[in-house]
Amino acid sequence: MDKIFLNELKVETVIGIWEWERKIRQTVVIDLEMSADIAKAAATDSVEDTLNYKLVAKRIQQFVEDSSYQLVETLAEKIAAIVRDEFDVQWVKVRLNKPGAIRGSRDVGVLIERGDRPDG
């Protein structure tokens, strides 16, 4: 099975458990890998025959901007559900980073996979 990926989608949102975090917007960085059969699209050269990553990106950006979860775990789970449910994706890997959350570390976050793995 083929995969379509989207890397380093940066979105401003309310995220965090501390009172001060609930009052500001912070950047989260999202990487997605999504299973897709791109053979038909490759043959037809038509975006209608593939997973339209621009539509996925716009939907995720809007959702994350409008959200206000405490945990990156919850946000990642919700992103995975949107990709699977709204875009008919069988498998998705979501990496969600929160840059600067820990002093001395570039970023922290979670990596989840949901659905049936495309490669077994």
User: Is position 98 annotated as part of the catalytic site?
Assistant: yes
Q: CB of 60 within 8 A of CB of 75?
A: no
Q: Which of 3, 23, 54, 98 is catalytic?
A: 98
| Residue 99 β-bridge partners | 107
Residues in the chain: 120
| Max intra-chain CA distance, the chain | 53
The catalytic site residues sit at 98
